[in-house]
Amino acid sequence: MSQTKPRDVQIYPIATDTTVLRSRSWSRLRFEIEYALSKGTTANSYLIQADKIALIDPPGETFTQKYLDALQQKLDISKIDYVIIGHVNPNRAATLKALLEIAPQVKFVASNPGAINLRQALENKDLPIIVMRREKNLDLGKGHNLQFIPTPNPRYPDHLCTYDPQTEILYTDKLFGAHICGDQVLDEGWQVFTEDRRYYFDCLMAPHARQVETALDKIGDLALRMYAPNHGPLVRYGLIELTEAYRQWSKQQTNQENSVALIYASAYGNTATLAQAIARGITKAGVAVESINCEVVEPEEIKTAVEKASGFVIGSPTLGGHAPTQIQTALGIILSTAAKSKLAGVFGSFGWSGEAIDILESKLKDAGYRFGFEPIRVKFKPDDKTLQMCEEAGVDFAQTLKKAKKVKTPTQPSTTVEQAVGRIIGSLCVVSAKQGDISSAMLASWVSQASFSPPGLTIAVAKDRALESLMHSGNSFVLNVLKEGNHLGLMKHFLKPFSPGEDRFAGVGTEEAENGSPALSDALAYLECSVKSRMECGDHWLVYATVDNGKVFNNEGLSAVHYRKSGTHY
């Protein structure tokens, strides 16, 4: 998708008296892990024009003027009666202040936590806000008697869904979204969005799977025709399938054998972003996360989560040389509750100094806890490389946790089936990829040609591999085929454990392929590939890619082949 298109606002009628205004950006827009597929995004806002006029979720300041110009095409802005806020993002303050200047009579509608956050964001403690609960309605006339469903989670404690029984539309805020930009408003051909919706869920919702299940239960009895999320295409044609998928994906998390209590507070959102990246790594490695925002939970909830978790990770900003009071309270609970055998982790962000992170580290070390990764210290706003490092730290933490919890059993002879599966052989290859400042690689032998026209291949990638995040549809990579008799050095290099964020190519000869990914100079050949699709296969993703270009370094050489005796390991 072109990265040079200007940002704009798309206006489209979606139901009786109801219009969506989609503020569109074809570039990534933000450095947060859920935006990492770099397919752009839309900030969806909704307008209901009945006897009373309601505006739902105006976008952030990136779109303020373009949005107001587009809104003015639909109505006299000064006539708006209500602005409904699904969650309060400080980035929206500029747009909301501009709306108030034009329509000072506007009443805001939010959850109780949302009302508190909104007054802070707009720096107006007397701001008129209607606080909505499940039992309260807002009648706009013409049958648009809006119902409100609080659906809080640790990242968005003020999260609020809005239901219009007249149109049977549920305005879902962060639920059921995807970061995709395009001209398509509704989800015709909804299957093509499944990968993007799954990625969005894994990044944003998986750490809150228990709360997602509660939200699904709350909306289960509604007559629904459409989900209207904040981001991406509106969900109409795939509504039933996506709802069921959310239930299945949530169950995958809540049914995990091991879990981690991820405890944090975030002054400016940066620590929360780090927490999200760490959570992404933990969950992709097959360990559940119980995300806990210390600013909005009672101490007893922290204690319960720490007691039942197999390990814990705690993150804090530094404010005035100290950790916030809520983090100090959480640390005290951990020190008095968590067994010393539990794996620990520490992270945080800071502006001028990072004393809070040092305090957390020293207190936990002095208490005898073992760390699952080196403490993560990030100055100011994290970038892509930092988020990759955090994700890899989360994977390492989960893998260490699983190894520690695994009960050792006597080695059993391979079954006939396992031996038979092990007789499937494949070429030894190194898959390498680079996207912006992020690069990664892995040794692979589960590789097979999949098509003649176009020339294509499949690669099985374990879910917890660092490279996995660079192997989504639209990404490119290089498949380096190793040469028999010259492969042991490269095998040894790419089999060794790498620390989070470590350069996989240090000390290895490479050249840049045309698609920007590293090609190994000592390989027998390499193929430049583009990912077309991927399929979930148990503990792996099966990636299908087409071959765009290739080069053979040695016409006389033979491909290195990996022979196995059992199908239970590589």
pLDDT of residue 1: 39
CA-CA distance, 491 to 442, in Å (whole number)? 10
Joined together, the tokens standing for residue 333 give 């609970």
Where in the chain are the domains?
8-253, 257-404, 416-562
Strands (E), 359-475: 370-371, 376-379, 426-427, 429-435, 438-444, 447-451, 456-462
- Reference 230, options 23, 68, 536; nearest CA is 23
Q: Which amino acid is at 3?
A: Q
Give the SS3 label for residue 239.
Answer: helix
pLDDT of residue 6: 86
Q: Rounded to 5 degrees, what angle do the CA atoms 345, 360, 313 make? A: 25
Q: Domain 8-253 is classified in which CATH homologous superfamily?
A: Ribonuclease Z/Hydroxyacylglutathione hydrolase-like (3.60.15.10)
Residues of the chain with pLDDT under 70: 1-4, 407-411
What 3 state SS string does 162-207 have?
EEECCCCEEEEECCCCCCCCCCCCECCCHHHHHHHHHHHHHHHHHH
For 416-562, which CATH superfamily applies?
Electron Transport, Fmn-binding Protein; Chain A (2.30.110.10)
d(CA 293, CA 310): 19
Q: How far apart are CA 190 and CA 193, in angstroms?
A: 6
Concatenated DSSP letters for 20-38? EEEEEESS--S-SGGGTT-
Q: What was the pLDDT predicted at 379?
A: 93
pLDDT > 70 fraction of the chain, expressed in percent and rounded: 98
Report which DSSP code applies to 494: H
**Fold of domain 257-404:** Rossmann fold (3.40.50)
What is the per-residue pLDDT for 2?
Answer: 40
How far is residue 500 from each of residues 264, 328, 375, 504, measured CA to CA in Å? Answer: 21, 27, 11, 10
- Dihedral sign from CA coordinates of 227, 228, 229, 231: positive
The two tokens of residue 103 are 């329509």
Report which of 129, 281, 260, 269 is spatially closest to residue 203, judged by C-alpha positions. Answer: 281
pTM exceeds 0.85 for this model: yes
Tell me the per-residue pLDDT of 324-369, one tens digit each, with 9 for 90 and over: 999 999 999 999 999 999 999 999 999 888 899 999 999 999 999 9
Side by side, which strands form the sheet with 107-110?
8-15, 18-25, 41-49, 53-56, 82-84, 107-110, 129-131
Q: Residue for token digits 């780090």?
A: 274
Question: Exposed/middle/buried for 249, CB within 10 Å: 0-12, 13-18, 19+?
Answer: middle
**The two domains 8-253 and 416-562 share their CATH topology (first three levels equal):** no
For residue 537, the surrounding DSSP H or E stretch is: strand 525-537
Determine the Cα–Cα distance for residues 364 and 371; give it in Å rounded to an integer: 9
Interval 481-490: pLDDT, tens: 999 999 999 9
Per-residue model confidence (pLDDT) at position 409: 52
